[in-house]
Structures are given as structure tokens and as C-alpha cells.
Amino acid sequence: MSVRRSSVQELLNSQELEREVVVKGWVRTRRGNKYVQFIAINDGSGFNSIQVVADAENFPEEKLQADGVGMGAAVMVRGKLVASQGKGQSVEIQASEITVYGKVDLDEYPLQKRGKDQKGISLDELRKIAHLRPRTNTFGAILRIRHAMAFAVHQFFNDRGFYYVHTPIITGSDAEGAGQMFRVTTLPEQNPPLTEDKSAVDYEQDFFGKQTNLTVSGQLEGEIAAMALGKVYTFGPTFRAENSNTTRHLAEFWMIEPEVAFNDLQDNMDLAEDFLRYLVRYALDNCQDDLKFLNEQYDKELLGRLQFVVDNDFQRLNYTEAVEILKTAKQKFEFPVDWGTDLQSEHERYLVEKHFKKPVILTNYPKDIKAFYMKLNDDDKTVRAMDVLFPGIGEIIGGSEREESLEKLTKRMAEMNVPEHDLWWYLELRKYGTAPHSGFGLGFERLILFVTGMGNIRDVIPFPRFPKSAEF
Ligand code: ATP
Ligand code: MG
Ligand code: MG
Ligand code: MG
């Protein structure tokens, strides 16, 4: 009878011992002596590997060596699942058959540890081999956590009656993008320019008949859906041709944007706080092995910091109060703060890490530093914006109550030079059955940065896009 293949994770959790099993995966390590060899196999199903015991009678070391049973090799192992005497594992496999699908020339393998100290490869170097880095413990952990967080996003909203809407990636409006958009066009062969200048693109003749761009946010289209379905969210890629030479910005990143009809700023803050605490709790409950590894390897305070977010309310205050705190702070900032200036990450992190020592929700920013669609307060100077600030990150969420009055919105657009002809449909949402509504955007990679404790946003997305980098 043929034995069905098991995943490593299934076997590690199995209570059914003394049975024949088959596992397929990659060799992490092989060690031992002339009597017995221990081979650790990982198949990605979890952080931990399973130990395969190969006795010298059936598997002499020279034969394992010759067959290529070494680090990185893809193998099939058949054997008996038995209780393990070894530390840190309850089961192991006594091998009866080992087949190698693909071996590795360790003299060439970029992931082979080299040099006297056998030090691992740095995160910077790993970025240059994005096709191999998922094989490392670190990126395996990050990718599994990323998956778990994406799943938890959908679960959170589904449980609360939100609908997932798909907003376009190619957009015809550039209202929000102010100089940060990537342009979309076809190859010149498909649309030969009609002008003398062969390099010029004639957008009227181009594929869409007008200039189009990659989206910087799904919000405006999300509002369309919220005005009919009530509670919606988007979760898709967004693109910004901004200076992403920071540890917090990518040119291509994923954003989650809930939008809720009849929610005001207060409701919006409650939703953001519930959402973030839910996601962090989900990670603590479901990604234990991966988080434990990251905690030990990179950041001994990671688990404590995650638990703190789950257990404590966020601090809420308005922008004006925050500016007062920053102006009287003992710390010297690179950029001085005054009422009306946009806060930099050094200010955000001061409030979170030094002053309040907890996550902060800042509200009611000056209208001049925020987007045209945010609802104006009665003071005529501030808007109902909110930014959620996290330790080690700074801004993790940006959101607001939206301006629902057609008259006020039109006035704001004129003041801020936002062309009406691009957004006629957005204005019509206010013309026909307008309603108060609010929403926010959570940068998915900033969430993953926080949950994994990694220091650079380029290390929490499989294929990071930043200036002068699009190898993969
Ligand atoms: P920042 O002030 O950090 O540049 P922002 O205010 O420009 O962010 P928003 O337009 O408010 O960003 O976008 C919503 C969220 O998307 C942010 O709170 C952040 O989590 C995330 N985000 C924005 N820009 C980037 C980027 N370039 N790379 C990764 N995440 C981003
Ligand atoms: Mg920005
Ligand atoms: Mg900002
Ligand atoms: Mg923002």
C-alpha cells in the first residue's frame, strides 16, 4: 500500500507513532558520525524541521555524501515515525529510503555559510538574491507571518460584515497622486506617435485614449462601493514614485483600506484600534514558532512589544496638543515643529516611544497638510484626519472622516487646485444621497514590519521595489 505524503508540520504534531511515513522537503543540515547520521528536513510547512535518523548500516556517510544528501538538497524520505530521545523534538523518522531530487554544489551555493566564523549572510546581501532568500529561516518566518496577516485581514472584516471590493490598479485620475504617480502606456510599436517627436506619447491616441497611471490608493473608488454596500474594504497593491530610499517606504506596497458609510471620526478610530489589536493578537496566537525565532534572533523585545499593543488602549489626542508636547520636548529634532508643519517620523516616534510609551492616534490636523477629501472642522482650519502612530514605525495608518457636502468639497478642491473634470464621479457621490462616511489606509508592509520586528521594509515583501531596483 502506498503511503500518502505528510507535511513536516503534520508529523511533528502527530500522536500516531510506529507507522510508515513519507516526507518531501529540503535538507537544512546533516551531521553525525560513522554510526549514525542526522538529517534535518524542512518543507516550509512550519518553522521547525523534522529529524531523520539514518543508520550507518543502510546509509554509510560516504554514500549520503556521494548522493548529495546535504544542505539545500531536495529529497524524499520514507521511514518509520518514532518517539525521539533528542532534545527539542518529540518525534523523528527512522529512514528506510532516501531519494535525492536535486543536489546542491555547496562550493557555489550562495546560502552556504562561508569563512572561518561561518557567519550567515547579511540581510543586505540577501536582498540581492531574492530568488533564494525565502529558503532562509528568517524569510520563511516572515513569509508565513505575511500570509497569516493577510488571512487575518479578511477574517476580521468578513466577521464584521464588510465586503471586499477590488478597485482598479490602472486609474484615469491623478487627483491624489501629486507628483508621485507611475504612468501607464503601451509600447510605441502599438501606438506609433503621430507627432514629429518619436519619443512623445500622444495619450489621446494611446490605449485608453487618455493619460493613465498606477493607483496610489484605492480609497476614492472604495467610497463608491461604501455608498452602496455600507461597509467595504480594499486590499491591493499601490504604487508611489516617491523617494523610497528610507526604511519605511517602497515604490510598490500593499494597502488595506476600509470605508464605512455613516461612521464618524470616533467610529473610525475605534475601528482602526480594534483592527490593529486583532491583527497583532492573531499573530501571537497563530505564528508562535516564527515569532519566537525572530524574537531570539533579531529583537529580544519583540514578543513583549506585541503583547503590550494587545493589552493596552492607544493614546488619543489632537494635533494641536501634540505640537505643544513636541515644542516643549527636551529632545532636539532635526526638523523643528510649529503649528502647521507636517510631522516627521522623528516627531511621531518621540510621541510614541518617549512621551506616551504606547501607540498614539493623532487627530484634527491642519487642513493645509492633508488631502482635499477630508472633512473640514467648524474651526475652518483643521480637518477630521487621524494618523495611527506605532513604536519603531511612526505612521502605520492614515485616515479621516470624508467631506460629504458637495458645496464644501467643491470649494476645497478649488482651493487645492484639484481638477474637477477628473473627479466628476466623485462629486456625484455627494450630489445623490450623500452620507457621512470615513475610512483609513493601513500600509500592509508597515504592519509586517511591526509584527516581525524587522528594521527595513525591503525585508518584509518578497520582491521589494525601490529606486534602481527591479531585478526580479
Ligand atoms: P508617510 O507619511 O509615512 O510617507 P503617507 O502619509 O504618505 O505616509 P498615506 O497616503 O496616508 O501615507 O497612506 C496610508 C498608509 O500607507 C500609511 O499610513 C502607511 O502605512 C502606508 N504607506 C504610505 N506610503 C508608503 C510607502 N511608500 N511604502 C509603504 N507603505 C506606505
Ligand atoms: Mg508619504
Ligand atoms: Mg504621513
Ligand atoms: Mg498619511
pLDDT, tens only, 182-209? 999 888 777 665 666 666 667 777 888 8
- Cα 177 to ligand 3 centre (Å): 14
- Cα 399 to ligand 1 centre (Å): 11
d(CA 467, CA 251): 8
- Cα 442 to ligand 3 centre (Å): 12
Q: Probe ligand 1: pick from 341, 373, 446, 456, max atoms within 8 Å of CB?
A: 446
Of all protein residues, the one whose alpha carbon is nearest to atom 26 of ligand 1 is 249
Contacts 24+ apart (CB under 8 A), 162-166: 162/231, 162/232, 162/233, 162/258, 162/260, 163/225, 163/229, 163/231, 163/232, 163/233, 164/232, 164/233, 164/234, 164/235, 165/221, 165/222, 165/225, 165/229, 165/232, 165/233, 165/234, 166/234, 166/236
Q: Probe ligand 1: pick from 153, 235, 253, max atoms within 8 Å of CB?
A: 253
- The burial class, CB within 10 Å (0-12 / 13-18 / 19+), for 185 is middle
Kindly state the percentage of the chain with pLDDT values over 90: 84
Q: Which residues line ligand 1 (CB under 6 A)?
A: 240, 242, 244, 248-250, 253, 255, 395-398, 441, 443, 445-446
Q: Probe ligand 1: pick from 180, 245, 249, max atoms within 8 Å of CB?
A: 249
Residue 435 in this model has a pLDDT that exceeds 90: yes
Length of the chain measured in residues: 472
Higher per-residue pLDDT: 245 or 428: 428
Both ends of the chain: CA-CA distance in Å? 44
CB 234 within 8 A of CB 169: no
Q: What angle do CA 362, 368, 369 make, to 5 degrees?
A: 50
Residue 73, SS3 per DSSP = coil
CB 414 within 8 A of CB 406: no
Residue 307: the pLDDT is: 98
Residue 177: the pLDDT is: 63
CB 374 within 8 A of CB 402: yes
Residue 333, SS3 per DSSP = coil
Residue 223: the pLDDT is: 98
Which residues, by Cβ under 5 Å, contact ligand 4, an ion?
Answer: 398
- Cα 249 to ligand 2 centre (Å): 8
What residues does 30 pair with on adjacent strands?
39
Of all protein residues, the one whose alpha carbon is nearest to atom 28 of ligand 1 is 249
ipTM over 0.90: yes
Nearest ligand 1 atom to the CA of 216 is 10
d(CA 37, CA 75): 15
Residue pLDDT, tens place only, 366-380: 999 999 999 999 999
Residue 148, SS3 per DSSP = helix
Residue 200: the pLDDT is: 67
- The burial class, CB within 10 Å (0-12 / 13-18 / 19+), for 88 is exposed
Residue 470: the pLDDT is: 72
Of all protein residues, the one whose alpha carbon is nearest to atom 4 of ligand 1 is 249
